[in-house]
Chain A
Amino acid sequence: MSDDKKMKQSWEEDVEKTKKRFPERKETFKTSSELTVDRLYTPAQEDSHYHEEIGYPGQYPYTRGIQPTMYRSRYWTMRQYAGFGSAEETNKRFRYLLEQGQTGLSVAFDLPTQIGYDSDDPMADGEVGKVGVAIDSLEDMEQLFDQIPLDQVSTSMTINAPASILLAMYIAVGEKQGVAPEKLTGTIQNDILKEYIARGTYIYPPKPSMRLITDIFEYCQTHLPKFNTISISGYHIREAGSTAVQEVAFTLANGMAYVDAAIEAGLEVDQFAPRLAFFFNAHNQFFEEAAKFRAARRMWAKIMKEQYGARNPKSWKLRFHTQTGGSTLTAQQPDNNIVRVTLQALAAVMGGTQSLHTNSRDEALALPTEESARIALRTQQIIANESGAADTIDPLGGSYYVESLTDQIEKEANDYIERIRKLGGAVQAVEEGFMQREIHTAAYEAQKRMEAKEDIVVGLNEFQVDEEIQADLLRVDEALEKSQIQKTKQVRKTRDQTVVDGTLGALREAARSRDNVMPYILNAVKAYATVGEIAGVMREEFGEYTGM
């Protein structure tokens, strides 16, 4: 049998298998004119380039997608990032979003939580509950997931330096609900390298941070086999001003650094690699973005198979979440942002994303109101249900333009990865500020182009109108900080301090040794030790990162 036929047959067999578990949404898909929509369109004559570089969905190198039937069976997970103020308030928003048809949760934590400070720490002044929910102790986490069954929703948590603490809290809440850890599904971001590069919520220096990450990999392998242990993020790299090529290159280079660290820690690549997840941005240039996702998927497959010798196909598959580009939103004429988000979301769907967050129109001004958050979710539902974009797999595949962009992005990103390799890998490159400088240069160039009107941003440097101040914005109650502090003081009063001290002492010992810290953190969390106390012990043991 020719290569053509073999590859196609292998895919068709996979389709049949997949359909048994995830039947397609419809018996037949049709356009408005009653034209039948095929599952996949391929070239009339398949050549070696098609076989090696493009191939079939669910087949190496996954350029056309990681599942054999893609959205014909199931849409992407619609996962809106939410969180503000207190745990009770965020719990209400979560339940609202689930009622509205959202299919997964995504928790935004406030900055003190993300940097390992309790709400009453002087460093937390003014920041409590502002950009996300304030979590100090297990009690807050219990309230956050009140009446949300953890065996039925998957939860993504944007938490990095203290990822182990929040994951431990999630495990503890699950146990209280009677859900065993092995049943928990979700993702922790846990990607410290991009914090140094672009996002800024680091705590410890790179070395102990990498150890915490591999400790989580190891722990989850046995205890939370369905949990994504990391979400290697290009999102924030892009938001910091990188190009699409840089986003792919730096993200995959960081991914390789985590794989290296895990292998170094003695883990088996095919054990942990299937649980690595990715997180990308969707910006405005529709075709480049769609091509970017396709290129990233192909690159990671090659890296894992060829460079790391992974044999489990699950290790080759780049699964990713996408968020539309926050920095593309304008404070001017905010309703225009709905249109931007629609185009970006469509690019993510064309690129085969596994889950998607669509930004709200008012996010250049403040956190989204409930109405804005609903429009953002509706945008995804319209793309899924009304546009027909999800009815055939990889609709842009085979476009001369998109295939050419995919090849070029792969090539240029590979050049960057090679440069990073020569610097000694991503950790070294981050410490030397290489990525930071490259991103800053790109960001500054973009700003200059915009100010010179070479790049037009509608409503910002062209097509402006005189507009009124938009008053209908979400406000975090300033009194929240005080009440959250009170609540945490109360928790400290009512818990058994001896148990807390004991678990924190044990954690300190573990941090000094080479033991996996996860079980010790779990014990401390269950004793109602706070995020600040647990992170504080590790701060003392690991030191703090102070920037470049």
Chain B
Amino acid sequence: MKPIRVLIAKPGLDGHDRGALIIAQALRDHGMEVIYTGLRQSAVQIARAAVQEDVDVVGLSSLSGAHKSLFPKVVKALKDEQAEDIPVIGGGVIPAEDIPFLEEQGVKKIFTSGSPTDAIAVYIKQLFAGEAVQEPKRIAHIGIAVEDIEEALPFYQHTLGLSLESVEEVQSEQVRVAFLKIGETRFELLEPLSDESSIKSFLTKKGPGVHHIALEVDDIHRRLEQYKTQGVRLIHEEPKTGAHESQIAFLHPKAGHGVLFELCQPKE
């Protein structure tokens, strides 16, 4: 994936660039390419640099109190350069009551004094992550923990009348699974193969029942990446191989407010 390019700029005459330099460095540490303009840049200079450097986002810093005049001018200058699609964010010594005005003037987001650099990096990544990763398409399956698949199957097959698609062992998770098709989705019955299996501990703690909901997604890598930057708690930061050789990863049940979600990208 192409790294996000950021222009950090100091509009006006303000010479305080500790914050601008720290943010530039922090964004670099987050894998972005950062260009810093240096001090005393006019709005037009900043807009031209943004276009020339082909950046994805412009970050402005001002501590002199001139933000209400200078930030909107940069937004306008970008428009004059036909580059209004480049979002402008800002920070510095900016009273909270000025933020609505600046946002109204087209500044996308203001980070005031004390904002952690990580929050700024995450925000920028989100600006661009949002476009590529689409919402989950459907429920791939609903996982149900059982003590013994053979014992549970008659209910699903005969009482409900669903058809059994397959039974297989997933060694990585130490489970045996049975899939039963229902409409567009499936039930997945999970039986532990050993005491190490997480299904075993689930059964010990809670007894048999609904264990997780799996969401079918595309681009599981990028989605995990995005969740990571958003600070979503994950059980698996990297996908692993699940049933049918699909790529899977679990979110932490805390993230799902008590529901264990699995991301599942089927094998092509």
Contact = CB atoms under 8 A, between A and B. Distances in A.
Contact of B15 (A125, A195, A447, A470): A195
B22 A444 contact: yes
B116 interface: yes
A443 B22 CA distance: 7
Contacts of B132: none
B152 interface: no
Interface string A123-147: 1111100110000000000000000
A123 B13 contact: yes
Contacts of A364: 93, 113
A201 B15 contact: yes
Q: Which of A239, A366, A447, A547 has the most CB of B within 10 A?
A: A447
Interface stretch (A10-18, A25-33, A327-335): A327-335
Contacts of B15: 111, 195, 199-201
A120 to B, nearest CB: 14
A476 to B, nearest CB: 7
B39 A366 contact: no
A447 B73 CA distance: 30
A444 B116 contact: no
Contacts of A547: 38-39
Q: Contact size class for A?
A: 35 or more
A365 to B, nearest CB: 6
Interface string B94-114: 011100000000000000111
B69 A125 contact: yes
B218 interface: no
A220 interface: no
A471 B95 CA distance: 8
Contacts of A123: 13, 40, 42
A473 to B, nearest CB: 6
B12 A127 contact: yes
Contacts, number: 99
Contact of A240 (B18, B64, B66, B116): B18
B17 A126 contact: no
Interface residues of B, number: 32
A527 interface: no
Interface string A324-349: 00010011100000000000000000
A112 B117 CA distance: 30
A378 B96 CA distance: 28
Contact of A126 (B21, B70, B95, B117): B70
B262 to A, nearest CB: 31
A354 B114 CA distance: 32
A161 to B, nearest CB: 11
A375 B73 CA distance: 37
Given A440-B21, A471-B97, A473-B95, A451 B14 contact: no
Interface string B33-74: 000001110100000000000000000000011101110010
A127 B114 contact: no
A469 B97 contact: yes
Contacts of A365: 93, 95, 113
B114 A460 contact: yes
A367 interface: yes
A115 interface: yes
A548 interface: yes
A443 to B, nearest CB: 5
B169 interface: no
Given A127-B66, A367-B65, A115 B13 contact: yes
Nearest to A112: B13
B118 A200 contact: no
A473 B25 CA distance: 32
A476 B65 contact: yes
B162 interface: no
Contact of A451 (B12, B17, B39, B118): B118
Nearest to B23: A447
Contacts of A240: 16-18
Interface in A85-116: 111-112, 114-115
Contact of B65 (A130, A332, A447): A130
Contact of A130 (B17, B66, B97, B112): B66
B25 A331 contact: no
Given A130-B66, A331-B114, A365-B95, A239 B12 contact: no
Interface string A442-485: 01100100010000000011000000011101001010000000
Contacts of B66: 126-127, 130
Contacts of A469: 95-97
A444 B96 CA distance: 25
B26 interface: yes
Contacts of B18: 239-241, 327, 443
B180 to A, nearest CB: 48
Nearest to A461: B116
A127 B64 contact: yes
Contacts of A473: 95
Contacts of A130: 64-66
A433 to B, nearest CB: 12
A429 B208 CA distance: 71
B69 A447 contact: no
Interface string B214-227: 00000000000000
A264 B116 CA distance: 48
A463 to B, nearest CB: 13
Contacts of B112: 331
A200 B37 CA distance: 14
Given A447-B26, A451-B118, A366 B13 contact: no
Nearest to A450: B116
A481 B252 CA distance: 56
Q: Which of B21, B68, B112 has the most CB of A within 10 A?
A: B21
Interface string A234-252: 0000011100000000000
Given A112-B13, A115-B13, A331-B112, A131 B22 contact: no
In the A-B complex, list the 8 residue pairs whose CB atoms are closest, starting with the nearest. A200-B15, A126-B69, A111-B13, A126-B66, A130-B65, A469-B96, A331-B113, A547-B38
23 contacts: A117-B13, A125-B69, A125-B70, A127-B13, A127-B66, A199-B15, A200-B40, A201-B13, A239-B18, A240-B17, A330-B114, A331-B113, A365-B95, A366-B65, A367-B65, A440-B21, A444-B21, A444-B22, A444-B25, A447-B117, A469-B96, A470-B95, A471-B97
Given A126-B70, A460-B114, 5 more contacts: A111-B15, A200-B17, A239-B18, A327-B18, A548-B38
